[in-house]
Each structure stands twice: as C-alpha cells, then as structure tokens.
Amino acid sequence: MLSQLPRSACSFAILCTALTLGACGSGDNVSSNVATVPAPPVDPGFVDTASIPPVPAFVDNAASNQRNDAHFATLDTNAGVRVVARFLDLWQPTTMIVDAGASAPAVDGFPAVVASTCSGLVNSGTPCGTILNAPVLRQNTQFVINETTSRTQAQADAAYFDDRRNKGYSVTDGMGPLTAAWLGLTEQTTTITSIPADATTTLYNDAGNNTGVGSTTNAAFGTVVDFINAMSTDGSTEPAKRFYKYARPFRWSSAVVVDPTLVPAESTTPATDGGFISGHTAEAMRDSMAMAYVVPQRFQEMMSRAMELGENRIFAGMHSPLDVIGGRMQGLAVVAANLYNSTNASLKASAYAQAQSALMSKTNTSSTTLNTFAHSGTTATDRFADYTSNQANYLRRMTFGFSQIEATDATPIVPKGAETLLETRFPYLSADQRRVVLKTTELPSGYPVMDDAEGWGRLNMFAAADGYGAFNGNVIVSMDATQGGFNATDTWRNPISGAGKLTLQGSGALKLAGANSFSGGSQVNGGTLEADSPAAFGTGDVYLGAGTVVINAPGVVSIIGKYTQLANTTLELDIGANGAGSMKVGAQTTVVGGTLHVKFVNGYAPKVGDTISLISGNGSNVKFSAVSVDGFNATPIYTSGGVQVHLDS
C-alpha cells in the first residue's frame, strides 16, 4: 500500500500551488496534502458455488439410454427418458415402459418388455396416454397451427432443408465467415441441394457424409470430425419417443399444415413415430454444441443455429414446441456426458487444438485475430451476424411463449458435468467457476418440462457464453495472455448483479459490456479491465493496484464508489464525442502516480487549443506520474472537480 506520491518535482502535489501550475504541468486548486490511499474493496469472505443436485446424474448414466433392452426400459433405469421426465406433469403414457414398437426378453431380474398395443393415433380406440394438463397441451398444438398457417416460403424452404439434410451438414452455416473453411477441412457433402418441384418426388435421404471425413483418411481435420461424432454417443431419442408415446402435432389437429414438400415424409406407422422428443433438434444441438466446443469463437452463433433448426421442425409441422424443448435438453445432456467421460479427454483436447490450428492456417489468422475474422461478416453474408437478434431469438425459443406454471423462484441448479460445455469458451475459469456461470445465467423456474431434477432445461447456453450473470462472493479471474484466444482477451456482456466483488489478475484483458449493478467493487491486480458500457463497474469501488483500466464505453462511465489508482499502473481513456470514454466518480478519487493515456476514437477529432474533460468528481487527491495524449502535446489540468487535458500542439 502506497502512502505518498512518487519522488518527482511534478509528482508531489504539495509543490504545486496556484502560482506555479504551468511549471508543474497542472491545473489549479490542487490539494497540498499527500493523499491517503483508500483500502481495496472489502473481500466478501466466500466464493460462490453451484452444488451438484442429489439425484442420479445423466453424465454418469448416459449409457442406459437404450431401447430393446429390459435393463433400461423404465423411467428409473433409462437416463434418456428421465432427463425429460417433467413431461409427465402434462401427459401420462398408457404404459411407463420403453415399449412402443419395442420388445425385449427378461434379463437379470428385469421383466420382459412387451410391445405396446397403442395405435399412436389421437382419437383411436387404443390411445397412447392421458392428457393431464389440457391448457398447456392445447397451447402446444396451437403454436404449431399458428406457425404452419402463417409461415413464409423462405421459412418453408428452410424447414425442408433442415428436415431432409443430414443435421451435421445443415448446421454448418452457423460458422458464418468460417463456413467455407470448415466445409473444406471437414470435406462435408450433401445431396440435398434444392427444393423439389413436385412434392411426390421428395428426397427422403441425404446421401452426403453428414459431419465429414474422419481421421482415417483426413489427417488435417479428421480428429475434429471424430470428436463431433463421438459427442453423439448414447444420444438416441428413440427410447424417449417410445416411452412417452406422444403424437406429432399433425395427428393432434388437422389444422396443422405440414410443409407440402414433407407430406410424403409422414410416417405410416404412428405407433412408433412419437413426437416427444424431437430427434432432429437433439441431433442439431449435439452437433452444434460439439462444433461450438472446438470453435468457441462462434459459440453463440452455433447455439443459435441449433435453436433455429428446432423451430424449423415446428414450421415444418413435424414437431411441437415441447418436442423441441425436450430435444434441446437431451442434446445438451448427451454432449456433456461425452465431454465428461474421461475416455474422451485426449480426443477433445486434440480436436480443439486441431480445429484452432487448421482454421487459423486456412483463414490466415492467429490466436488473437481468429475471433475477429469469425465475426467479420455482415447480415448479408452471415445470418447470425446480429448479436441482438440472436439473443432475442434464443430466449424466445427456450420457452416458445409458454407461461410459468409452477413456482418461479426455485433455487438455480446446475447438472453434474454441465460445466464441461464451457471448457473452451472460458479456458481461464475453473470448473467450479464455469458451474457458477451456468447457475447465474439460467432461466427462472416454472416453465413446462424444463424444471427437470438436474437442471438441463433451465440452462441458457447463449447467456452463459456472455460470462457471469451475478457476482456472489469473491470472483477472482486469472487470465494469461500468452496462451492467446479467450485467455488473452474476452468480453462479458451480461448485466451482472449481486453483492460480490470482481478481482482481475494475470495478463489478459477482460471487458465488461453489460448494464451491471454488482456492488462489491472491482480490483485490478494485473491484466486489463475494460469498461465497455457506462455501468460496467456496477455500484462499487474501482481499485487499480496493478495493470490497466480502460474506459471504452459509448458514454460516460459512472463509478458510483471510489476510484483509486496506484503507481506503475495505467488508466486509458478512449475518448469519443459527447463524453464517451470519460469517467464520472461519485465518491473519492485518489491517484498516487501511474500513467494516464488518452486516445481519441470513433472519428472524434479535437483540435489544438481544445480542453477535454476526462474525469469528473472529487479530484483533490489526483496526480498522475505521466500523461500522454495520442497525436498531441498536452497539459493535464487538475481541479477539485476532476481532470481535464489541454491540447497544446
């Protein structure tokens, strides 16, 4: 802790009086007292956690997701059935067995599975179940009616392609500017390239290679393809379909208009053609999540693409919202289980390394520029270039407009192993920290189907990719810029709440871009903490003990508490028009050395002779060791109201 100013003639405020300000490069009314340095923000004394729910974990039991095996024929014994068990609040199947079109001999004390006799038709003499919540299930079908009767031709075309093409190929355009490189490296192909003119000639099977060519003959990228395929292990949706025996929407209502090009694809065996859960959605989520793992630079866009494919199943008339929600949940659980499985540890590490290296080579980028290239498209060239639209659509597709039907304030829960989904997106966070990210960004409770016992339904992967949603306790972030990628620089865009404190250390740059309200303060012990929004620092103190603070917001950044800066540190202000990039400090401002670096950005071009306001507030204990202004020789002006700079030449 420093208690006095650096030993320099122009560093001791006591030497600067109103008569000698010019000689000291200072303004007027500077205190003659050596500054008393405030203490850092108080450590809350604990670290937030997200405990593992005390129920059988999907990641430990994924291999039980089988059919035609008496071992795994019930809700208790089949993890793929159990993960979406809250559907039983809405619908009771005639038999609680994986038995639609399935049979299996008795084995190891498990009774034989006898094939169900239900017809799969809604109004037949042999129904497949009983409606328990009519309003929700009516809304479920009505949503499909609304979307299929109002869909545009473009939506119908997208629904056709997402129905007929292999899902691994279909979701690839979520890679945006990286799509061409990805397709070239994976060697992916499809034979579904056009909409048939005659619905009776609908293509039923994509003869392409789905996810591409594996490592046996694709040395450059085959490990990535192997990894994506491995992430679907134990991912069948058939056990759930054959357990719940819930009909597709066009069987619930003739008002559902199946896309005419897909009518020939309607199954002629409804007893084995269950709607819940959506297999296409689950597969799209598995492939997209696997791709997001190896290319986290497109994490949110790949998640958005998977969710879009899910809604396209509704536009097609083939699935209902609840079918799609169930498919999303199971898809995430399956990928997490395969990432969590220790036998895949080497594969996932090798696949990530190969994907990053090969894509950088193919796009002539580096670990520090790949992310920029991955987002270099426009809405004309990248359907997922609009972050705001992606965010809104993802949230809408999580619930499809269903109201909460149970308690809305249940404690957040995070499934065992779910933290693996964020391993490459937040390589600088620990597994426990990634669990807290999931905990603080998940959806509230109460929505149909989504309140499963483990927590898969409430996970909001789009929001989770934007960092913490709340700071509870002490949040210590250590980044190592030498490792490149997100280790070197990252942006958290969520609105962060809570009473916790953020401490940044290491050498990387963490950018806070949300409308934050956390109150525990921010302490920089190393690296760069950047404010990219006016409320980036919440309502607490900001303490710059080592490293750098950057103010790069589109408006004035408000520090509600104290601002303290010690020697051998840097405050960078990226000044734009109308006060953008400047600081307003609500409490005490203390600067006992360090550097002030001023940049002019976004076309802002002041001229010689201008005086620019930089810091407003209580500035009586402010003295930088050095002040630099890009493009100008300048003189700092210190007043009791803050800091300005005069552009001399």
Going from the first residue of the chain to its last (649 residues), give the mean pLDDT of each consecutive group of 10, the final group possibly shorter.
34 31 36 70 97 98 97 98 98 97 95 95 87 98 98 97 97 98 98 85 82 98 98 98 97 96 91 96 98 98 98 98 98 98 98 98 97 97 98 98 98 98 98 98 98 98 98 98 97 98 98 98 98 98 98 98 97 97 96 97 97 91 96 95 96
**Which of 99, 244, 221 has its CA nearest to residue 172?**
221
Would you list the domain boundaries of the chain? 13-43+471-647, 143-441
Q: Is the dihedral of CA 31, 35, 41, 45 positive or negative?
A: negative
Q: What is the CA radius of gyration of the chain?
A: 29
- What single-letter amino acid sits at 357? S
**Which of 67, 539, 541 has its CA nearest to residue 279?**
67
387-399 helix and 299-315 helix, angle to the nearest 10 degrees:
50
Please give the torsion angle defined by the CA atoms of residues 433, 439, 442 and 445, in that order, rounded to the nearest 10 degrees: 170
| Token digits of residue 507 | 């050498």
pTM value?
0.94
Backbone angle region of 25, left / alpha / beta, with phi > 0 → left and psi within -120 to 50 → alpha: left
Q: What distance in Å separates the CA atoms of residue 289 and residue 333, rounded to the nearest whole number?
A: 11
Number of H helices, E strands in the chain: 18, 17
| Strand segments (E) across 493-633 | 501-506, 509-512, 522-531, 542-551, 557-559, 563-565, 569-575, 583-592, 595-600, 611-623, 626-629
User: What fold, for 143-441?
Assistant: Vanadium-containing Chloroperoxidase; domain 1 (1.20.144)
SS (H, E, C) 366-407: CCCCHHHHHCCCCCCCCCCCCHHHHHHHHHHHHHCCCCCCCC
Please give the torsion angle defined by the CA atoms of residues 412, 415, 420 and 422, in that order, rounded to the nearest 10 degrees: -30
224-274 per-position pLDDT tens digit:
999 999 999 999 999 999 999 999 999 999 999 999 999 988 999 999 999
Q: What distance in Å separates the CA atoms of residue 339 and residue 62, rounded to the nearest whole number?
A: 12
The rounded Cα 305 to chain-centroid distance in angstroms is: 13
Residues with Cβ < 8 Å from 394, sequence gap 6 or more? 300, 303, 304, 307, 460, 462
262-277 per-position pLDDT tens digit:
998 899 999 999 999 9
Q: What distance in Å separates the CA atoms of residue 327 and residue 512, rounded to the nearest whole number?
A: 33
| Token digits of residue 210 | 């789905």
For position 126, what pLDDT does the model report?
Answer: 84
**Which of 604, 603, 554 has its CA nearest to residue 582?**
554
321-340 helix and 134-150 helix, angle to the nearest 10 degrees:
100
Phi, psi of 551 (to 5 degrees): -110, 110
